[in-house]
Structure 1
Amino acid sequence: MTKRFSRRPLAICAAAALLSAGAAHAAPDSIATVAARLASPPPEARPLMRWWWFGPAVAKPELEREIRAMKAGGFGGFEIQPVYPMELDDPARGIKNVPYMSKEFLDAVSFANRTGRANGLRVDMTLASGWPYGGPHISVDQAASRLRMATVDIPANSSSFALPVVMSGEKLVAVFTGEGKGADFDANRLALAKPGAAVNGRVEISPDPRARVAVAFIASRTGQQVKRAALDADGFVLDHLSEKAVEHHLKTVAEPLLKAFGDQPPYSVFSDSLEVYGTDWTDDFIEQFRKRRGYDLTPYLPQLWTGNGDAAAGVRHDWVKTQTELADERYLSRIDAWAKAHKTRFRSQTYGEPAVSLSSNRLVDLPEGEGPQFRQFSFTRLATSAGHLYGKAVISAETWTWLHSPAFSATPLDMKAEADRMLLEGVNQFVGHGWPYTPPGTVEPGYSFYAAAVFNDHNPWWSVMPDVTGYLTRMSYLMRQGEPANQVAVLLPNDDVYAATEPGKVTLSGHMAKYVTPELTTQILDAGQNLDYVDADAILALGLHHPVLVMPHVTRLAPAVLARLSAYVRGGGKIIAVGGKPSLAPGLLDAQRQSEQVRQAADALFASGPNVVLVRDDAAVGAALAAMLAPDMKLSADVSDVGFVRRKLADADIYFVANTSNHDVSANASFGSKRQYAAWLEPDSGKLVRAERQPQLKLAPYESRVLVFSDKPLAAAEPQRLDAPAVVADLGQDWRVSFGKGASVQMQKLRSWTDDDATRYFSGVAVYSKDVTLAADQIAGRRIVIDFGPGTALDSTPKVPAGMRAMLESPVREAAQVYVNGKLAGSVWHAPYTADVSSLLVPGANKIEVRVANLALNVLAGHALPDYRLLWGRYGKRFEPQDTQLIAPKPAGILGPVKLVGEKIL
């Protein structure tokens, strides 16, 4: 790799960003220091929880209890998100829904902030209730805007026609006339009517023997209402392209919220994914367009709907690009500046509608993604790529949004399976979705958000939550160290998406999967590489720092970007173009001359030598990439479900490797790091154990490991050499099992406790216990584990509407803590389903106790679901529980076989 591709400038930016985010140190750490800190990483790496306040109807004692529970569970903080009422007011139970932004609500916010801070937790605040931003303070003239088209048929020989009715919040922009009927007209042959031609709602025209059509363009409103709003928080979504609307929201909602925090502002203020459906306009759009694009959009308005050809595509490009700029300047930049002025940070999910770009993330302190789709186009990779490019050290993701529906079905293994995919995409801060506030006395298992998993202490498997969050914390800390080291960049063809966009759904991220296809991503990953996205704005601002750039079906590109690509290739960079060469200017103005420049520059670039290749389709990318760049991770077996991400320290390379499948993996592995010495980094302890330079990689289903390469030998011991495992004792029969405070039962043969009527709907912790007698020679010199078996792989994904889950059923449903002779040996919640009991066994009698926790879904299945008819009658239907038809008891307990397995230490 030539010096041109050094990441050093970005590392400096990343260090500065880390300091601004409250890091305790800025100097790069050595691998020895990182490993030493791994067993007890800094608290800022802990996962957060989105805390739903339903109503809001919250009481301080329960707020404090839940804050303490979050801390005990290993969470580092919470994001307050007020949402829809869950119950009607009930004085007997202390339930009172208070209006959003009322004195009572703001007092609860203030209390939660003080209490969270007192418990050492981070406190974040969303600057709205529900999403997107909006509410009752947003009048129709500040509501999310769109341009609508209305047509009026003009009969033959008519001398006038009636204009479409323009309602409150709307404004007539322009009217055109020409041949046609309804929406069947030629956009190039319409004539713009003169301003002021209407009298009493009618426009006079010269009679014509042919039937004609009038096409009116009206600046209108989407009418979208805030989704999942709290009491008195419902109303219009604001116009994200309007400076006036954004300022009004900051003054009316954000300012009072921040005052409730007093002299302890929130760690960050949050903006959820941009889901302003149908927006594509704002009141001063014509003026802003002329200022930015250099021509008047008005004569070209018909092209937005029905225009064909390069010119119409150029107009659409300019129209959408202008929206991106307005969202950048009036929404993202403005809120980020406001946050800084209030001594907090802006955390933003910068994707969706309006059409914000990858580089829009440069305008916010804390980019955030969403979605575990690491082998296809991903909103998460948008955020992580922007963080890598623009020096954002901490990149979060909303995690577990649709995990294992319906609510209360998600397991600790499900959490890990999705989180590992996030880590593979570059995430290093988890924001769990989420934690539902639940009033005392609520029928178990308590509240749940309408379409999300639940991760509070109403889950029976809460006992292992500190183990889950401990793993997430350690991996988040580890993935913040050093610099990102992805070797391949994929150019997002923003200009092509702009040009192909039509009214109704104006988005970059929403259309990008047509270009960055699953096959393209698979080709890159299966070639042994990881990837970042880049866009034209990033190339112009930062240049290119990846050894290889992939350009998927890029047709439109500015000459200035092509000049940067030429310089990149001259410096040693390599390009793989898919489907064709760039040939068109991005927009309309001066398009003919610029398109010729583009063609000439592209021809010269692709004739410059072997570092630039053109392949026919996505399927050819892998071979072309393999010819250009050695794999960063290569496995002897074709195991596409194994992913990796690398971080580069001054003295080491860190590889996080994860098996995302439900089957075992065994392969010889080689890695692209040029450093000489290798060691396994044990995630739980930070212990470094010497490894082969090309190690054998053995991974259980959904298992992950960390491999380190260093310049100098690490302080690492040789791994224990063990002989073949052998069964020391079969524990598959004769367990005493107690359920809560109920009487114990003898379980001759292990089975699901849902098989028995008395415990079919039991959710909780069942204690399995038995005695086993061992001779001294059975345990001496052996590493002994209690082995619950491999679990059962599922053949196909269950039919649920959304989300993901681990496709493996545990032999211990769903988590357990193992005690030997009264001492905790460890927790079991993911494969391999074992716990090391070597140090706790003694010759003679040993008491084995396994405390098994199942799902809260079972108790939920045991009683009728709530009837929300009266609630919806009072507040409107603000939610509908998802997938309730799937609620049924799930198998629970130890399913067997269970064995003590020993390996002699050689």
Structure 2
Amino acid sequence: MLAKKFLFISAFCMAATAAAGQTKQPLIWPKVTAQTRPWTRWWWMGNAVDQKNIGMLLKKYQQAGFGGVEVTPIYGAIGYEGRYIDFLSPKWMDMLNYTAGTAATLGMGVDMNTGTGWPFGGPQIKTADAATKLIIQTYKLNPGEIVKEAIRVNDVKQQGIAVLQALVAYDEKGNATDLMSKVDAAGNLNMQPVTSKTEVFAAFAGKTLQKVKRAAPGGEGFTLNHLSKSATDVYLARFTNAYKGRQPKVRAYFNDSYEVYGASWSPELFDVFKKDHGYDLRMHIRELNSKEENETVGRVKSDYRETMSNMLLHNFTQNWTNWAHGLKSITKNQSHGSPGNLLDLYGTVDIPECETFGSSKFPIPGLRRDSADVRNVDPNPIMLKFASSAGHVNGKPLISSETFTWLTEHFKTSYSQCKPEVEQIFLSGVNHVFYHGTTYSPDDIKFPGWLFYASMNMVPDNSLWSHAPGLNGYITRVQSVLQAGKADNEILMYWPIYDAWNHPKGLDMPMAIHDINEWLIPTAFYKNAVKLQKQGYSIDFASDLALMKSAGSQVGVKTSANALYKTLVVPECTMMPNETLQSILKLAQQGATVIFQKLPEDVPGLAKVDERRAQQKQILAALKFISAGSGVKQANVGAGKVLLADNLGNALAYANIPAEKLVESGLQFIRRNVGGNKYYYLVNHTAKAIDTRIPLNGTFSSVMMMDPQSSAYGLASSAAANGKTNVRVQLQSGEAMILFASTQPKTGISKWSYLEKATGEIELKNPWTLQFTQGGPIVPAAKKLDKVKSWTDLGDTDAVNFSGTGVYTSTFNVAAKITGQYVLDLGQVDESARVWINDKEVGILWSIPFKVRVGSYLKTGVNTIKIEVDNLMANRIRYMDQNKMEWRKYHEINFVNINYKSFDASNWTPMPSGLIGPVKIVKY
């Protein structure tokens, strides 16, 4: 069924002209489609959209290199209420259908948030179907006392809403007595005086009363109870009804990260729990409410959290996905933040989506990272891999990412800062980037247009917009490779979620990206994943459910979606269900090699715990280990074997599963398998240039270098021997390269030209002319310069305040052309440049190191050079705030800075702008 769903995606694919230098070699780079291009979240502020502006904006996005938009209605701008359109109204549906139709004519796709703002909710969600929380009240009684007052919820906001679901009395010895049958309709408790100290626990199903955050007009209302199938059905019925006779051609329906705060319950949870675990949670309400950190409390809460996970999986995630499939669409889901097994939740939808929030620190020389302009949070690559792992394990061809959220302070995000951040998510397995984001802004709204408060502002009003095809072209070429074939990872690693669920602290356990210091980073699972990746291993994570559906053989472990891994690694964990343990050992019986760091010590949960413990001991006792040396023990199990080793690297070496030693050079990589051939995407995020021979695992007849920055390619210097292929690579700090390692020799392709020893420089010492061409607030007068410098150093106030484009022109002399390469080095660029030499476009240099090969553009004698530079929006916004020019006036959150304080750029220091240099051409 799912394979058919993904055929739908191809309807949005388009044959497209690739970047410069690619069009004549269609077989070198994979075909460019709408899916290989980056997409963007498209904020519809107040739903104040119209056909004229939709068409105009979509065309601009397509010209900038975007492959699609994700429509997300949001709060609106003050003063434009007359343009607002209610969500899902007939007029709104007309706008959505016009968007889908127009996008299709442009070769673009359209996704849609199944709601407005976040999380799911709206006017169709009445109190009964709203997000629910467990409320527990206690009554302490001394001998001879009874509960005199009516059993009613104390919270005034919950009165008339909360429903009593359990009433249990505990005596001094811990004996529990169910009192629910003794409560009348008015809440009066008919009980006998207690004979010992007693505590009565009343459990109510209350409501969080959370409403949709940042809702658009027509989307306001209570947040959905995601644990309830009937509530989910009510929520989706509004869409089904609105679609009658006007169903939109939406590729994928989107659900944002789970931010349903305090939603710890659902009215049917007691019954589902008893069905799942065989005992009545009502009789353990004291343990569920307890703050004591003892074993029983941990076991009860583990069972409760597992039940929540299953309810979220079946009642919402699968239910919503089935609904989308009925519309011949697919689903795209951010599972993180959910109180459930992230791998199963991600794996159930069609496109698992992670997100980056904040910025990472990279040691790339010249890469700006001002502490005042970044959030104190770093995207974690292991966290990102939960989405990609679920995608790989479950055979999902696309893994997406909400990208660049709060990368920097508003108006200060450069493309150079975007590049290593997006490369990090590529290395984590993402192959379908969504910008966060682009705000719909009508043509009549002055600079900077309508803007969303947490976005990187990838909008046509951005002064960097004219160079967006540079960044987008790079992403497109990389994604065309990372969407080809299949992920090629050796290791499947078990995620021991029951160790996390068994923690006695708290109630529900959302697996949120901002809480990874609690549930992820301290674990042996995390530490081993980081260590093995640094050693050169490629890893995906597997849930208990995924392992139960997998099969083993002599070649490894194959998942239900036919993803093949050389081994399964089980990191140190305490809790493991016997069903999971038996599934793991079954893989070995079928021929696979399974590696345990340590054997599990216990079983999770409360029901029949002694019986299950005895069964686990019996299973483990059947493993007869003998020493295999180097701290590795081996037990033969059926046609395969189980290895036991504290040092997982030693066990992998013993199992003859080699790491990619190329990481010893400092390079990072991700690998794709295309019919036995391999793509290696390499990134240099070190502080130094790398020029060395790296070994690839495998014997290949040829290796082709493919430069995703320029689209250039050529046969690399390579040699195969002893199961390895050594390849020479050269990457400056901040550069990336793709290797295509083929089992067949390549003919008709020129050799890659390496840069050998520098033999001198061509000086660009002639005067420069600087002409400002577009931007504001005032376009500065042209300048004559002896040397390039920042616009803020020109002695011109208009240039200090200016955001836009400046064009530098000059001439230089080439005495005589020689054999070899010529590299133009622009030095410092703030922030992006487009270069022409002798009236021929060289390309967009949009990121560090701002170098490009230019030998084919040069001629003997006088040469002309033109360099068009775009700067940031920051200086113009500073000017506007200093002059108290109103540009932000929104309902809801209005506009905040990176620390969620009121935004004010008036005290900013002007940002360096333009071509700083030094500019030179180096001969090799």
- TM-score, normalised on structure 1? 0.86
Which residue of the partner structure matches residue 183 of structure 1?
Answer: none
Distance change >3 Å, CA 39–CA 630, structure 1 → 2: closer
Which one of 805, 813, 829 corresponds to residue 765 of structure 1? 805
Which residue of the partner structure matches residue 727 of structure 2?
Answer: 695
Which residue of the partner structure matches residue 803 of structure 1?
Answer: none
Kept in 1, the 8 Å contact 2:388–2:428? The answer is yes
Kept in 2, the 8 Å contact 1:157–1:207? The answer is yes
Q: Structure 2: give runs of 5+ residues left out of the alignment.
A: 14-23, 361-377, 552-556, 559-564, 627-632, 635-640, 719-724, 774-778
Distance change >3 Å, CA 707–CA 294, structure 1 → 2: same
Which residue of the partner structure matches residue 36 of structure 2?
Answer: 45
Kept in 2, the 8 Å contact 1:377–1:518? The answer is no
Q: Which amino acid aligns with 2:52?
A: P
1:198 is displaced (CA, Å) by: 5.3
Q: Which amino acid aligns with 1:383?
A: A
Q: Which moved more, 1:427-436 or 1:366-375?
A: 366-375
Kept in 2, the 8 Å contact 1:527–1:625? The answer is no
Which residue of the partner structure matches residue 592 of structure 1?
Answer: 610
Q: CA–CA distance in 2 between the matches of 1:472 and 1:394?
A: 14
1:815 is displaced (CA, Å) by: 0.7
Cα deviation, 1:648-694, whole Å, max 9, x if unaligned, reads: 12241111111234543344421222434333234344734133231
Cα deviation, 1:58-115, whole Å, max 9, x if unaligned, reads: 233222211011100111110100011132227xxxx623333334333322222222
Pairing 1:224–2:210 present: yes
Q: CA–CA distance in 2 between the matches of 1:59 and 1:151?
A: 56
Q: Which moved more, 1:455-464 or 1:158-167?
A: 158-167
Q: CA–CA distance in 2 between the matches of 1:279 and 1:219?
A: 10
1:586 is displaced (CA, Å) by: 2.9
Q: Which amino acid aligns with 1:894?
A: L
Which residue of the partner structure matches residue 555 of structure 1?
Answer: 574
Which residue of the partner structure matches residue 18 of structure 2?
Answer: none
Q: Which amino acid aligns with 1:788?
A: L
Q: Which moved more, 1:643-652 or 1:34-43?
A: 34-43
Q: CA–CA distance in 2 between the matches of 1:14 and 1:237?
A: 29
Pairing 1:370–2:367 present: no
SS at match of 1:460: coil
Pairing 1:726–2:777 present: no
Q: CA–CA distance in 2 between the matches of 1:14 and 1:343?
A: 11
Distance change >3 Å, CA 357–CA 124, structure 1 → 2: same
Which one of 722, 738, 754 corresponds to residue 771 of structure 2? 738
1:508 is displaced (CA, Å) by: 4.4
Q: Which amino acid aligns with 2:461?
A: H
Kept in 2, the 8 Å contact 1:376–1:518? The answer is no
Distance change >3 Å, CA 69–CA 562, structure 1 → 2: same
Pairing 1:318–2:303 present: yes
Q: CA–CA distance in 2 between the matches of 1:142 and 1:14?
A: 30
Pairing 1:814–2:831 present: yes
Q: CA–CA distance in 1 between the matches of 2:528 and 2:178?
A: 45
1:638 is displaced (CA, Å) by: 6.0
Which residue of the partner structure matches residue 660 of structure 2?
Answer: 633
Kept in 1, the 8 Å contact 2:382–2:526? The answer is no
Kept in 2, the 8 Å contact 1:376–1:521? The answer is no
Distance change >3 Å, CA 221–CA 605, structure 1 → 2: farther
Which one of 671, 674, 678 corresponds to residue 653 of structure 1? 678
Which residue of the partner structure matches residue 921 of structure 2?
Answer: 900
Q: CA–CA distance in 2 between the matches of 1:553 and 1:150?
A: 39
Q: CA–CA distance in 1 between the matches of 2:856 and 2:599?
A: 65
Q: Structure 1: give runs of 5+ residues left out of the alignment.
A: 1-12, 26-32, 181-185, 790-810
Kept in 2, the 8 Å contact 1:399–1:433? The answer is yes
SS at match of 1:895: strand
The residue correspondences of 1:449-468 to structure 2 (distance < 5 A) are 449-468=452-471
Which residue of the partner structure matches residue 276 of structure 1?
Answer: 260
SS at match of 1:71: helix
The residue correspondences of 1:599-638 to structure 2 (distance < 5 A) are 599-605=617-623, 607=625, 609-610=633-634, 612=642, 614=644, 620-622=647-649, 624-626=651-653, 628-635=655-662, 637=664
1:748 is displaced (CA, Å) by: 2.4
Kept in 2, the 8 Å contact 1:387–1:393? The answer is yes
Which residue of the partner structure matches residue 130 of structure 1?
Answer: 117
Which residue of the partner structure matches residue 519 of structure 1?
Answer: 527
Pairing 1:394–2:410 present: no
Distance change >3 Å, CA 751–CA 157, structure 1 → 2: farther
Q: Which moved more, 1:622-631 or 1:344-353?
A: 622-631
Which residue of the partner structure matches residue 550 of structure 2?
Answer: 542
The residue correspondences of 1:428-507 to structure 2 (distance < 5 A) are 428-500=431-503, 502-507=505-510
Distance change >3 Å, CA 882–CA 103, structure 1 → 2: farther
Kept in 2, the 8 Å contact 1:305–1:502? The answer is no
- Higher-RCO chain (CA-CA 8 Å, sequence separation at least 6): 1
Q: CA–CA distance in 2 between the matches of 1:849 and 1:633?
A: 43
Q: CA–CA distance in 2 between the matches of 1:496 and 1:35?
A: 50
Q: Which moved more, 1:239-248 or 1:291-300?
A: 291-300
Q: Which amino acid aligns with 2:783?
A: V
Q: CA–CA distance in 1 between the matches of 2:5 and 2:246?
A: 24
Q: Which moved more, 1:749-758 or 1:485-494?
A: 749-758
Which one of 843, 851, 862 corresponds to residue 868 of structure 2? 851
Kept in 2, the 8 Å contact 1:727–1:899? The answer is no
Which residue of the partner structure matches residue 795 of structure 1?
Answer: none
Cα deviation, 1:206-255, whole Å, max 9, x if unaligned, reads: 44697654322111112222111112422211001112211111111354
Q: CA–CA distance in 1 between the matches of 2:753 and 2:436?
A: 40
Q: Which amino acid aligns with 2:876?
A: V
The residue correspondences of 1:817-828 to structure 2 (distance < 5 A) are 817-828=834-845
The residue correspondences of 1:744-823 to structure 2 (distance < 5 A) are 744-755=782-793, 756=795, 757-775=797-815, 777=816, 779-789=817-827, 811-823=828-840
1:448 is displaced (CA, Å) by: 2.5
SS at match of 1:38: coil
SS at match of 2:189: strand
The residue correspondences of 1:670-689 to structure 2 (distance < 5 A) are 670-683=695-708, 684-685=710-711, 687-689=713-715
Q: Which amino acid aligns with 1:729?
A: I
1:498 is displaced (CA, Å) by: 2.5
Q: CA–CA distance in 2 between the matches of 1:503 and 1:378?
A: 24
Distance change >3 Å, CA 783–CA 676, structure 1 → 2: closer
1:43 is displaced (CA, Å) by: 3.0
Cα deviation, 1:370-428, whole Å, max 9, x if unaligned, reads: 23889956443122111111111122222112222x12222212222122111111111
1:171 is displaced (CA, Å) by: 0.8
Q: Which amino acid aligns with 2:355?
A: E
Name the count of aligned residue pairs: 840
Which one of 337, 341, 344 corresponds to residue 322 of structure 2? 337
- TM-score, normalised on structure 2? 0.84
Q: CA–CA distance in 2 between the matches of 1:289 and 1:429?
A: 38
SS at match of 2:314: helix
Cα deviation, 1:706-743, whole Å, max 9, x if unaligned, reads: 12222221224333365522334222663211223542
Q: CA–CA distance in 2 between the matches of 1:885 and 1:878?
A: 12
Distance change >3 Å, CA 14–CA 205, structure 1 → 2: closer
SS at match of 1:147: strand
Q: CA–CA distance in 1 between the matches of 2:11 and 2:622?
A: 47
Q: CA–CA distance in 1 between the matches of 2:381 and 2:453?
A: 26
Q: CA–CA distance in 1 between the matches of 2:215 and 2:449?
A: 20
Cα deviation, 1:755-784, whole Å, max 9, x if unaligned, reads: 343311211111111122332x1x243422
Cα deviation, 1:823-860, whole Å, max 9, x if unaligned, reads: 21121112332233222222222221100111112211
1:340 is displaced (CA, Å) by: 1.5
Q: CA–CA distance in 1 between the matches of 2:141 and 2:228?
A: 36
